[in-house]
Amino acid sequence: MIKILKEKAEIVDFITKNEQRGGGDNSEIEKSVREILEDVKVNGDEAVSKYTKKWDCENPQYYRVPEEIINEAYEKADIDLINALKRSKENIEAFHVKQRREGYTVEQDDGIVLKQIIRPLDRVGIYVPGGTAPLISTVLMCAVPAKIAGVGEIVMVTPPQKDGTPNPEVLAAAKLCGVNQVFLCGGAQAIAALAYGTREIPGVSKIVGPGSAYVATAKKMLYGKIDIDMIAGPSEVLIIADENANPRYIAADLLSQAEHDVLASAVLITKSETLAEAVKDEIGKQLDMLQRKEIASESLRNYSGIIIEKSKEEQIKWANLIAPEHLEIMTQNPLEYENEVVNYGSLFLGEYSPEPLGDYFAGPNHVLPTNGTARFSSPLSVDDFIKKSSSILYTKEALKKAADSIILVAEREGLDAHANSIKVRCEN
């Protein structure tokens, strides 16, 4: 069951342990992933199929999912689900379209023209996890900003179900969002196929989307060959609540993260010991109703806690130190915290803004930095699907005016050829 932490030393120990979630000795994972990457690089689709049969299912129905099967999945999908996904897609579009940006031009004397040019990436890959929780919402969160950015082609990879078939609801979401191709493969082998390209799977410029430790390790190892969104760790939520907060709501929100993964972290910070005990009791009641009770129980036992902290300033300090993926403020005046907490992936203000609202519907992206990386990184956005280039145009007269400065710096660096490139253009 979840622990109540009161002493500073035990709070520090708890935070330190959480920082190391899934980050111990990964040498075996790295060794395995390295072998998979090399195998796929050399043997392509044959290697991908081998690993799919080994880890996902013996007889996948498809490798590349035919377009008619994707269309059929959409047409046969539950109409209520499709309507819910459409509403969610509209909200995601409305939020992300504001992120779209244009390049700019700077014109100076003597005919100098400088530009920043923004272009969409040509082709991106989306990884959608399967397993016990196929993340339909991840399709929307990754594909919608890519489309807004103007990405030329979106290739999705997702593991087959145990019976070898594609998850029809994931296919329906792909159709709704305009995904161009879908392949039934997962794990490090799918990441390798997207990075290197195979006979069947086209190589991409960037891979986005969450996944297992093997997926995260493959993305990390292939960064440089391709770009990635982030190295995502286990999910997490931190809630700051006062004595007026509803313990039932808090317990429900803590459990909504704990059910993700045995390594997930769910943390409450409050000054009220009465609230802490009430939340602990409520967790016990709600836990018994969950299908994923065993997963949530392990998360609560190992990586979750209730921190008793009387000082608002110290509460904020702990929150900024932890830098959670999701941060909920359940206080009487939640807006008082908005400008003081600065390290988080996404902020949820008030008791009617629970974290699942962000996962599925509100509009801001749910692909978020985890494990403290919110101190320096950002949620997935339209910016992840563009590249910025610069353009320089100088006239002869403009170059002559700049020549002495350029030559001086180049010669001080010992780069005579650089200096000479300017000199030969400025000779009488």
**Angle formed at CA 52 by CA 209 and CA 48, multiple of 5 degrees:** 80
With a CB cutoff of 8 Å and minimum separation 6, the contacts of 148 are: 93, 96, 97, 99, 100, 382, 385
By the 8 A CB rule, do 225 and 233 touch?
no
| pLDDT band at 242; cut points 50, 70, 90 | very high
> Which residue among the candidates 309, 325, 328, 355 is catalytic per the annotation?
325
Q: Output the CA–CA distances (angstroms, integers) from residue 413 to 315, 402, 403, 410, in the order listed.
A: 50, 17, 16, 5
CA–chain centroid gap for 201, Å, is 23
With a CB cutoff of 8 Å and minimum separation 6, the contacts of 88 are: 137, 140, 360, 361
* pLDDT at site 20: 85
* pLDDT at site 24: 56
| pLDDT band at 23; cut points 50, 70, 90 | low
With a CB cutoff of 8 Å and minimum separation 6, the contacts of 357 are: 348
Give pLDDT tens digits for 328-386.
Answer: 999 999 999 999 999 999 999 999 999 999 999 999 999 999 999 999 999 999 999 99
| pLDDT band at 26; cut points 50, 70, 90 | confident
Of 188, 166, 32, 137, give the one whose Cα is nearest residue 360.
137
Q: Annotated catalytic, 325?
A: yes
The first and second tokens of residue 189, run together, are 């082998």
Q: What is the mean pLDDT of residues 189-212?
A: 97
Q: Identify the weakest region by mean pLDDT among 15-29, 195-209, 246-260.
A: 15-29
3-class secondary structure, 171: helix
Give pLDDT tens digits for 88-132.
Answer: 999 999 999 999 999 999 999 999 999 999 999 999 999 999 866
Percentage above 70 pLDDT, the chain: 98
Mean pLDDT taken over the chain: 95
> Which residue among the candidates 169, 259, 260, 326 is catalytic per the annotation?
326
